[in-house]
Amino acid sequence: MTKFIFVTGGVVSGLGKGIAAASIGLLLKNKGLKVAVEKFDPYLNVDPGTMSPYQHGEVFVTEDGGETDLDLGHYERFIGDNLVKECSLSSGQIYSEIINKERKGDYLGGTVQVVPHVTDIIKNRIRNLAESSDADVVITEIGGTVGEIEAESFLESIRQFRSEIGGANALFIHLTLIPFLKLSGELKTKPTQHSVKELQRHGINPDMIICRSEISIPDELLDKVATFCNVDRKYVFEGIDVDTIYDVPINFHENEMEERICERLGIPTERKNIDKWKTLVNNYKNPEKEVKIAIVGKYVALADAYLSVSESLKHAGAYHKCKVNIEWVNSEDIELDGADKYLTGLSGILVPGGFGNRGIEGKIMAAKYARENKIPYLGICLGMQIAVIEFARNVCGLKDANSSEFGLFEHQVIDLMEKQVGVTNKGGTMRLGSYPCTLKENTLAYKAYGEMFIDERHRHRYEFNNTYRDILKNHGMILAGTSPDNMLVEIIELKDHPWFVASQFHPEFKSRLYKPHPLFRDFVGVAVKN
């Protein structure tokens, strides 16, 4: 029978619930259990696809085209299994489903209410994932912080769920903060006590508490948390700040958290080591060299906006035993001061995905700088589109070349794909999810992947305009990857350049610490030598 773990957070947001849930998933999988993970988000957007990265961080895209919360990225990177759209549920999805049903008359005259209609949908989601994944353990992370008004229906649902399946089959984990007061030099448990009281007000007593803290928490304080929060002492864990998120599973493992979880849920398992993971993390933490790579984007003030990209650079760095220092460059600054000021002396330039025309010219200047100065360049989605625009303008002489995303131009080298014409709804309507791509022999991409047929994840509306294929090719652009029917250009490269590769897809969603993405791996590899 499937067992269920629910992860909630208290005191403040940003404690790393997602990493904690992912780490627990990793440790359980390491024990040979089949794990499924999902994230519930209390906000009213249907998905994060329409939200600004400044509001929400990056949008993580699943194989099946779900635009999901970035925590799903952590789950995939730690646990290693691909997730599906259904692993991400927001209040917006629930309400839109209910209101559609209500308008159709499906409730047959009944009053539609939070309990049972909203809570039923939430509980069904948990059950459905258990069934469809056939998992031994389903981990459900509840987004937001306990006490927030939007989270109430989720807490009520998991409370009901537990009583329906029986307490022995569910485990509530609460992640809280034990703040360190610098002035008095003390760690304080009171906020944790309050947060647990708030949970209890919803009828939930946590079975396990993970106390996040800047410094190591003395045993007496963990004892105190156990007593005041009504939790068995052996289920109170310290979650100390670490150098890298990849250390979290190691810490949990050393405190035998996964053993306690399995005992509590009545899952008979043996202690397993995590030496393989430790070696990977060790390589990552002990680099022999360093390299500086620029990420040129619009949302550089919030690293979470490019989370999977920066994680992918870390994976590639670990592979080459090299620390990748990211230089965050705001493309609007390049527009003001020129590319030299920000890009001189860097070993690689990466232009990630993006939307809208703000900062576009600065990105084009960055691509030009990389091309002319023969600096390794990795363009992702918009980063490919601007590389095409730059090449069309400055090499092919198509002076006003641009993307139709940014206005009407004589040479729309990037244009709306046919299927997108007439689409007005913004949510969930792009080219989304995994698509096949065929690589051309003797290209950098082919060399990187070591195979001809690949699949990669997409999230965009615009495409390379085929009208310009010949002129761009004749001037030295290589179409290194296309859709199998050759209709869509998926990867471009440049002749006479050490490493200039740009893809219409997002390679960053498939990179893992134990399996760096081939494009990132080779990009960092050449940058190290640069």
Residues that bind ligand GLN (CB under 6 A): 353-355, 381-382, 405, 459-462
Residue 508 is a catalytic residue: yes
**Least spacing, CB of residue 61 vs ligand GLN, in Å:** 9
Which CB, 162 or 506, lies closer to ligand GLN?
506
Which CB, 222 or 305, lies closer to ligand GLN?
305
Is residue 3 within 8 Å of residue 24, measured between CB atoms? no
Which CB, 48 or 249, lies closer to ligand GLN?
48
**Least spacing, CB of residue 512 vs ligand GLN, in Å:** 21
Is residue 208 within 8 Å of residue 261, measured between CB atoms? yes
**Least spacing, CB of residue 417 vs ligand GLN, in Å:** 9
Q: Which residues of 148-184 are buried (b: 16+ CB within 10 A; e: fewer)?
A: eeebebbbbbbbbbbeebeeeebbbbbbbbbbeeeee
**Least spacing, CB of residue 26 vs ligand GLN, in Å:** 28
Q: What is the DSSP code string of 324-381?
A: EEEEEEEHHHHHHH-HHHHHTT-SEEEE----SSTTHHHHHHHHHHHHHTT--EEEET
Which CB, 23 or 62, lies closer to ligand GLN?
62
Q: What is the dihedral sign for C-alpha 486, 492, 494, 500? A: negative
Q: Cα-Cα-Cα-Cα dihedral of 307, 458, 73, 314, to 10°?
A: -50
Which CB, 297 or 518, lies closer to ligand GLN?
297
**Least spacing, CB of residue 444 vs ligand GLN, in Å:** 21
Which CB, 368 or 506, lies closer to ligand GLN?
506
Task: Give the count of beta carbons closer than 10 Å to the beta carbon of residue 425.
Answer: 7
Name the β-bridge partners of 236. 209
Look up residue 384 and give its DSSP letter: H
Whole-angstrom Cα distance, residue 330 to residue 376?
A: 19
Asked if residue 116 has a cis previous peptide bond (ω within 30° of 0), the answer is yes
Cα end-to-end distance, the chain, whole Å = 54
**Least spacing, CB of residue 354 vs ligand GLN, in Å:** 5
Query: Is 514 strand, coil or helix?
Result: coil
Q: Determine the residue with CB nearest ligand GLN.
A: 353
Look up residue 143 and give its DSSP letter: P
Phi-psi region of 32 (alpha: psi -120 to 50; beta: other; left: phi over 0): left
Residue 381 is a catalytic residue: yes
Q: Which helix (H) or strand (E) holds 464?
A: strand 462-464
Residue 506 is a catalytic residue: yes
Catalytic residue among 87, 229, 381, 396: 381
Is residue 10 within 8 Å of residue 192, measured between CB atoms? yes
Task: Decide the pairing of beta strands 289-297 and 348-351.
Answer: parallel
Whole-angstrom Cα distance, residue 502 to residue 163?
A: 52
Catalytic residue among 229, 460, 508, 517: 508
Which CB, 221 or 488, lies closer to ligand GLN?
488
Which CB, 6 or 462, lies closer to ligand GLN?
462
Catalytic residues: 381, 506, 508
